[in-house]
Chain A
Amino acid sequence: AQSVSQHNHHVILSEAASLELGCNYSYGGTVNLFWYVQYPGQHLQLLLKYFSGDPLVKGIKGFEAEFIKSKFSFNLRKPSVQWSDTAEYFCAVGPQGGYQKVTFGTGTKLQVIP
């Protein structure tokens, strides 16, 4: 069975600081990888996804993530955070092919201080 581990449960940053959120997964086959964001009181929305090809994936709102296959990692980055990035971020993994189950990490709460 696949699993996802997010190392940071709660991160506090000042505006303009750089962000990196860790995500590691375990699965023996080829995967799709996702980062979702949940703004306070809202549902989850897709930030970015990796399916194949370039391991550096760019998403919405200036976020990017790098898939490092050898490390089973898919860390999320943003060079300069804004107060509006305050949210909870979820990494998710799903096997490629067919209708497959997606597993979510436990989430990282990001608080950006103005």
Chain B
Amino acid sequence: EAQVTQNPRYLITVTGKKLTVTCSQNMNHEYMSWYRQDPGLGLRQIYYSMNVEVTDKGDVPEGYKVSRKEKRNFPLILESPSPNQTSLYFCASSLGTGENTEAFFGQGTRLTVV
């Protein structure tokens, strides 16, 4: 089954404790991205990747890091989480070219930073 898998689904952590949210897709998509969803703000892109070892900042990259060492994986890293990073996070992937630019989303990770 074609899917984007995020882990964990729920995470509560303390300020300053490094964490990683994993994202994996099995559709051989080249384009992957991370979004955060906040009430009234919709989805805002954090980082995106156009291929292995090619990443770029989205609209709200501060406080986040990503890596793309393999095509299928695109982890999101919070080196020193802060309470304003409490949010619902979605990973997405797409073929990224021509007509096939629609995104396939993971189930989401609800992060709480206390």
- Interface, chain A (partner B; CB < 8 A): 6, 9, 32, 34, 36, 42-46, 49, 51-52, 90, 92, 94, 96-107
Interface core residue of B35, B44, B98, B102 (most chain A CB under 10 Å): B102
Query: Are A100 and B42 interface neighbours, CB within 8 A?
Result: no
Q: Which residues of A contact B90 (CB under 8 A)?
A: 43-44
Query: Are B42 and A104 interface neighbours, CB within 8 A?
Result: yes
Q: How many residues from B make CB contacts under 8 Å with A?
A: 27
Q: Which residues of B contact A94 (CB under 8 A)?
A: 101
Select which of A34, A99, A104, A106 is within 8 A of B35 by beta carbon. A104
B96 in the interface (beta carbon within 8 A):
yes
Q: Which residues of B contact A32 (CB under 8 A)?
A: 99, 101-102
Query: Are B30 and A90 interface neighbours, CB within 8 A?
Result: no
